[in-house]
Structure 1
Amino acid sequence: MADGAAEAPPRETMTARGRRALYRARRRLRRSAVDYFRGDASDWFAFGALFLLVPLITVVTLMVPIWCPPTALVLPLLAGALLLRPSSLVLLYAAAASALAVEAALLGPYHLGPGRVTPGSVLVMGAVGAGGLLVAQLRSRVGVPWRGGGTMLFDLRERLKVQSQIPALPPGWHAEMALRPAGGQSFSGDFLVAARTGDGSRMLEAVLADVSGKGMDAGSRALLLSGAFGGLLGSLPPHDFLPAANGYLLRQEWDEGFASAVHLVLDLDTGEYELLSAGHLPGMQRCMGKGHWETKEAEGPLLGIFEGAKFTGLRGRLERGDVLMLCTDGMVEAPGRDLSEGMDRLMGEADRLIGSPFVGTAWRLIETVAKDLNDDRALLLIWRE
């Protein structure tokens, strides 16, 4: 009994050590899997899983070929194109090719059942493999894993949306922004940055910009510029903003690197404002007292064209009931139509919608005036009660 009692602690110690080792292994495996799907680790975890899947599919094909044909091997190839690096993907392709050769050898050349390996099966596997390797090489060149690339783009898009939101305004003021990219894409070459500045945040500064080009090409530049413009806005005196933005674009040395922009500086206490333009469309103000629209055109060249460009501001005042409208050329530009005609139509439709609830007016204007235009469209409305 004494000897038996003396031997018990070592057995308990060995059991505890085994449990701790198993726990550490499980934690390491789980951490590796989590890090992989975050894009922070190597692809050995996914490669091992897909590599083991290849012989499993081969066995099932040999046993029940009617439910699992030889072309089922494209499944791990497709998954590998999304999950693996090119070097690992080539090894997986080699395993799949070997499995296909085993299936052809075991079934025999005269097998006429559903599991027969035909030249068509080989061609399908080769086409999927070539396409998958191309996708993997593109991902490797960009340096963004598929599992994180979509998340990153989504995050960038949401950050752009947040940055384009107009800050809360004091009672008596309403503002609305609507943005619709060309072709139904998620990214646009038009963007807005806005902030409350000045003593007591009594000033509203908003910059509506239109980057040259369309779609993703313009959208990628707009993402960069919106971040830069957002950092400049409120950090510089209003008259220094457009010169600083112009210098920033010139330093980028883009082949198609110009942009138009309009900078609004609005005093929320008095309603006085100043528009500074860089080759942008005129602003449009509906004067409640006069019952008609007026165009407000400031002078200044496009951003990214000339060094030392000068921008002359235009002052105005929003009385109670007045509406100020700023837009990009996608709202008024159409083949065979002059910009002035498009602006007249936009102001006419806005005049018709002013009597309706203000919320949603910007979106309704886009739907009415520029729904089918293949261009980025952006519209900013500011109304003083």
Structure 2
Amino acid sequence: MSPARDRAPRSAGQRLEGALNQVLPRGSRLVVALVVATVAIGVTIWLLPSYTPLTTLLVPLVVSSLMLGPRQLPWFVLFVLLVLAIVVVVQDINVRVVLTVIIIFGLGLLVLLSSLRRSRLGVAGIQGEQMFVDLRDRILRQGGIPALPDEWYAAAELRSAGGTPFAGDFVVTSRVGNRLDVAVVDVSGKGQAAGTRALLLSGAIGGLLSALPPRDFLAGANTFLLQQDWDEGFATAIHLSLDLDTGRYDLRSAGHPPAALRHAGSGRWEVIETEGPILGLMDGVDFAATSGEMRHGDALLLYTDGMVETRTRDIASGIDKMLGQAERLLRGQFEGGAERLIESLGSRSDDRALLLVHRR
């Protein structure tokens, strides 16, 4: 049977849409629809000036600011203002009408200015927002914990300064065979100011984490940051490489707060000191590993400084408080423990990230 016969016949609606796309692309159809709506509003105002307010013209103006691209939007705004200038002739000129015209022209100017800024991105308002939402979701997915053997539990939590959806702290994970690699990163700055750098860096670090052997990961991330030549081009990070069969781990740090390990036998938390230079400041540096083994019942915490440092408390005091809270909130119940800890600790004016790993 020929491929042509295998194709399902297109419906009448699909054929009509295909014909319309050939005559008038989808983007142009939206412009035409807005122009027709604006003309209809203008004619209504002209014929029924006592019943149709001038502010009705704000409807296509607002819709265009959301839907039209940066090349089409300025011309459409000028068209709306031209319609306003024409229909204002039939109005009884008074203070109210004059103020209405000034307000509409002012809003039109604001839309024009926003279109000029939007032209740097090249997409309409809603499309630009969708792009940022997609990028944010990709960051969160990179921090998602891959499937682990039954004897292992891990969870990561992120909170941004002021509750904004973008943060300078992030977590990336990778599992290759029986090895789990996790990096907790704190980009310089916080909230939206660090969000754009975090977007780029999280993608790069996610790729390096999967592609490089553990001993070369932080060195590769350092090289990448040095090549960016950012004004605030530094970051701290801690990298965990964990063997899921044996529980052996390597910890490497780049100017990051130390990890904390809870020993199931003694029930005590141990701060694991790891030293290394901050990423993005010096070239050709090495990152030494601190090795150990997680036994059954042990738990490991990786976190950013927003969890332990505030304006009135240094990191050492903050770590003591965090471990005290961990002992109180976890108490052998590690599932959901990362969320409980991050909600009870840290500064709400700083980004926070936390990773909890537990061997059952």
Output the TM-score relative to the length of structure 2: 0.89
- Structure 1: which amino acid aligns with 2:223? G
Contact 1:82 1:135 in 2 (8 A): no
Give the 3 Å change call, closer, same or farther, for CA 326–285 of structure 1 in structure 2: same
Equivalent residue of 2:58, what SS? helix
Give the 3 Å change call, closer, same or farther, for CA 95–303 of structure 1 in structure 2: closer
Give the 3 Å change call, closer, same or farther, for CA 67–313 of structure 1 in structure 2: farther
- Structure 1: which amino acid aligns with 2:315? L
- What is the identity percentage for the equivalent residue pairs of Structure 1 and Structure 2? 44
For 2:24 and 2:182, locate their aligned partners in 1 and report how far apart those are by CA, in whole Å: 45
Give the 3 Å change call, closer, same or farther, for CA 360–34 of structure 1 in structure 2: farther
Q: Give the CA deviation at 1:89.
A: 3.8
| Count of residue pairs the alignment pairs up | 348
Q: Give the CA deviation at 1:358.
A: 2.4
For 1:228 and 1:132, locate their aligned partners in 2 and report how far apart those are by CA, in whole Å: 36
Give the 3 Å change call, closer, same or farther, for CA 94–299 of structure 1 in structure 2: closer
Asked if 1:206 corresponds to 2:206, the answer is no
Give the 3 Å change call, closer, same or farther, for CA 32–283 of structure 1 in structure 2: farther
For residues 281-309 of structure 1, what are the alpha-carbon distances to aligned partners after superposition, in whole Å with 9 as ceiling and x for unaligned?
Answer: 10001112122111001110000000111
Asked if 1:82 corresponds to 2:57, the answer is no
For 2:272 and 2:24, locate their aligned partners in 1 and report how far apart those are by CA, in whole Å: 59
Contact 1:211 1:218 in 2 (8 A): yes
- Residue matched to 2:320: 344
Contact 1:82 1:136 in 2 (8 A): no
- Residue matched to 1:262: 238
Give the 3 Å change call, closer, same or farther, for CA 87–223 of structure 1 in structure 2: closer
- Structure 2: which amino acid aligns with 1:241? F
- Structure 2: which amino acid aligns with 1:305? L
Contact 1:78 1:128 in 2 (8 A): no
- Residue matched to 1:327: 303
Q: What is the aligned counterpart of 1:143 among 102, 112, 122? A: 122
Superposed CA RMSD = 2.3
- Residue matched to 1:309: 285
Q: Give the CA deviation at 1:63.
A: 4.4
Contact 1:191 1:378 in 2 (8 A): yes
Q: What is the aligned counterpart of 1:27 among 18, 24, 29? A: 18
- Residue matched to 2:274: 298
- Residue matched to 1:376: 351
- Residue matched to 2:40: 56
Q: What is the aligned counterpart of 1:121 among 68, 91, 100? A: 100
Asked if 1:175 corresponds to 2:166, the answer is no
For 1:80 and 1:217, locate their aligned partners in 2 and report how far apart those are by CA, in whole Å: 29
Q: Give the CA deviation at 1:108.
A: 4.9
For 2:328 and 2:283, locate their aligned partners in 1 and report how far apart those are by CA, in whole Å: 43
Any stretches of 5+ residues in structure 2 without a counterpart? 1-12
- Residue matched to 2:141: 162
Contact 1:84 1:136 in 2 (8 A): no
Contact 2:77 2:112 in 1 (8 A): no
- Residue matched to 2:209: 233
For residues 81-106 of structure 1, what are the alpha-carbon distances to aligned partners after superposition, in whole Å with 9 as ceiling and x for unaligned?
Answer: 23335564444344334433433333
- Structure 2: which amino acid aligns with 1:123? I
Contact 1:212 1:218 in 2 (8 A): yes
For 2:329 and 2:14, locate their aligned partners in 1 and report how far apart those are by CA, in whole Å: 66
Tell me which moved more, 354-363 or 307-316: 354-363
Q: Give the CA deviation at 1:35.
A: 4.5
Contact 1:188 1:219 in 2 (8 A): yes
For 1:210 and 1:129, locate their aligned partners in 2 and report how far apart those are by CA, in whole Å: 41
Equivalent residue of 1:277, what SS? strand
Output the TM-score relative to the length of structure 1: 0.84
Contact 2:261 2:271 in 1 (8 A): yes
For 2:244 and 2:16, locate their aligned partners in 1 and report how far apart those are by CA, in whole Å: 62
Q: What is the aligned counterpart of 1:46 among 30, 37, 44? A: 30
Q: How does 1:344-363 map to 2 (within 5 A)?
A: 344-355=320-331, 357-363=333-339
Q: Give the CA deviation at 1:148.
A: 1.9
Any stretches of 5+ residues in structure 1 without a counterpart? 1-21, 37-43
For residues 106-144 of structure 1, what are the alpha-carbon distances to aligned partners after superposition, in whole Å with 9 as ceiling and x for unaligned?
Answer: 3454xx7xxx97210221111111111011111112222
- Residue matched to 2:3: none
For 1:192 and 1:34, locate their aligned partners in 2 and report how far apart those are by CA, in whole Å: 42
